[in-house]
Amino acid sequence: MRVQEGVTVLLPVSQGDPDLLERAFMCVQNQTYERLEILLVLNGADEQTRQCAQRLCLGDERAWVVEIERAQLAAALNVGLSEARYELVARMDADDACDAERVAMQAEAMNARPNVAALGTSYRVAGPDGGSLGVVTPPAEPEETRWRLLISNPFAHGSMMLRRSAVLTAGGYDETFERAQDYELWSRLSMRGGRTGVCALPEVLYTLTRRDEARAFGATPLQGTHAARVMARAWDALPRGCAGEMLELIAAMAERGEIEPARTRIEERMRQGGPSMADLLAWLWGSWTSPGSHLRAFDSARAARVREVGRELRGKGVSAVWVWGAGRHTDWLLNHADDLGVPIVGIVDDALAGQERFGYRVESPSAIGAGEHVLLSSDWHEEAMWAGSQAHRQRGVRVWRIYCGAGEEGRSSAA
């Protein structure tokens, strides 16, 4: 039988920087909450990580280590849940940090809200140098989470506190998911109803560290694949709703400009009665159309940056550019060619050479001659593309960047 009054902090560790692990461990050690257990689960850890974990636990009688052979996060978390002494289990990631009051504030909220099975916090997103990249505020109520999860996962896994019995009753973490295990669990808990709500405190109590700033708010291809599985299953389970009401709302938003009031009505209906496919499609349409939406704001900022790069290109006497990359960013860029203000002569891409994309025959990067100019076209992979262009830069191709600031001659300057 588990003890009710107390919190187990579950910290899975595979391989990583021992200094970051020590920082995470000290964040847990320094919590203001007193009745604490610190459980490190080593899953496929190397010898250096194993020794670091054991050394840290030797200095704190509240801490202990469990080890599993294979490196599988969902399996490690299920082992940790089964071994945890307390009913409340707080997650912590080995390369992150949290505030000293985090566990106390979450435990108090969980004890006051027996209908909540998983509770996160708002969180900072930090780059590898510790600099802030932004703050994320997940939904504060389970009713909002239920439909927000149909669009994305707003929670930082390491920030969550779980009600052990509710999670295990729901089946624990799904070990068929190599990535997005947390997203799958939150989605499943939210769909079950009852005492399995998922939400977050509004206070910023956790720091999520991103090693790659270019992916600070995005996913890796493997994460994207598994997240798509979660989303497809959740959308497939949605009731269809009333298509007539959906069309009426979209018409009102389109004809009378009632975008924000209509979106607010849809959100309230989804909070009260749960999401339907009709409501969600109408809300998404309004989100994209709304001049104040985050998508529109992002699109405007991106277009402004392209205009800035275009002015710099023209100032350097560039009369034409190739575009490197044949993905969705290039599709967007071609639709904003006026913002760039420099003629685009073709597309190059390592993987798609020879195919037709967006009205161009994609060429190999080797088709760009020395002295010609090429613009990297990706919002998430520009850093990797820059590294991959090194051989072409060395032979005299002039490569320009749009977003990243790690170029040898400045933010958008050619090499």
- Longest pairwise C-alpha distance within the chain: 75
Give the distance from CA 202 to its chain's centroid. Answer: 18
Question: Are residues 194 and 330 both part of a single domain?
Answer: no
Question: Are residues 225 and 274 both part of a single domain?
Answer: no
Domain range holding 340? 298-400
Q: Is residue 415 a part of any domain in this protein?
A: no
Question: Are residues 206 and 177 both part of a single domain?
Answer: yes
Read off the CATH number of the domain in which 131 is found: 3.90.550.10
Read off the CATH number of the domain in which 321 is found: 3.40.50.20
Q: Is residue 46 a part of any domain in this protein?
A: yes
Question: Are residues 60 and 125 both part of a single domain?
Answer: yes
Q: Is residue 408 a part of any domain in this protein?
A: no
Question: Are residues 16 and 133 both part of a single domain?
Answer: yes
Question: Are residues 316 and 376 both part of a single domain?
Answer: yes
Question: Are residues 124 and 198 both part of a single domain?
Answer: yes
Assigned token pair, 247:
């069309």
Which of 194, 217, 235 finishes a domain?
Answer: 235
Res. 287 pLDDT band, cuts 50 70 90: confident
Into how many domains does the chain fold?
3
Question: Are residues 247 and 177 both part of a single domain?
Answer: no
Most confident among 6-20, 90-104, 249-263 (mean pLDDT): 90-104
pLDDT, tens digit (0-9, with 9 covering 90-100), for 144-161 = 999 999 999 999 999 999
Question: What phi-psi label fits residue 199: left (phi over 0), alpha (psi between -120 and 50 degrees) or beta?
Answer: beta
Lowest-confidence segment of 112-126, 161-175, 211-225, 283-297 by average pLDDT: 211-225
Which of 224, 259, 290 finishes a domain?
Answer: 290
Indicate if the pLDDT at residue 256 is higher than 70. no
Over residues 330-357, mean pLDDT:
88
Q: Is residue 320 a part of any domain in this protein?
A: yes
pLDDT cut 70: percent of the chain above it: 89
Assigned token pair, 157:
């896994």
Indicate if the pLDDT at residue 173 is higher than 80. yes
Which of 274, 290, 306 finishes a domain?
Answer: 290
Secondary structure (DSSP) of 246-277: HHHHHHHHHHH--HHHHHHHHHHHHHHH---H
Q: Is residue 405 a part of any domain in this protein?
A: no
Give the distance from CA 348 to its chain's centroid. Answer: 29
Q: Is residue 409 a part of any domain in this protein?
A: no
The helix/strand/coil state of 31 is coil
Pairwise CA distance, residues 50 & 66, whole Å:
11
Cβ–Cβ contacts within 10 Å for residue 44, how many? 17
Give the distance from CA 361 to its chain's centroid. Answer: 33
Question: Are residues 149 and 208 both part of a single domain?
Answer: yes
Cβ–Cβ contacts within 10 Å for residue 140, how many? 13
Closest CA to 103 of 31, 29, 190: 31
Q: Is residue 413 a part of any domain in this protein?
A: no
**Which pLDDT score, from 0 to 100, does residue 33 have?**
96
Res. 414 pLDDT band, cuts 50 70 90: very low
pLDDT, tens digit (0-9, with 9 covering 90-100), for 7-43 = 999 999 987 788 889 999 999 999 999 999 999 999 8
pLDDT, tens digit (0-9, with 9 covering 90-100), for 64-80 = 999 987 888 999 999 99
Question: Are residues 302 and 231 both part of a single domain?
Answer: no
Closest CA to 163 of 37, 27, 2: 2
pTM over 0.85: no
Find out whether 313 and 330 touch, Cβ atoms under 8 Å: no
Indicate if the pLDDT at residue 220 is higher than 80. no
Question: What phi-psi label fits residue 341: left (phi over 0), alpha (psi between -120 and 50 degrees) or beta?
Answer: left
- In the chain, the N- to C-terminal Cα span, in Å, equals 64
Q: Is residue 285 a part of any domain in this protein?
A: yes
Question: Are residues 23 and 36 both part of a single domain?
Answer: yes
Average pLDDT value for the chain: 86
Question: Are residues 30 and 123 both part of a single domain?
Answer: yes
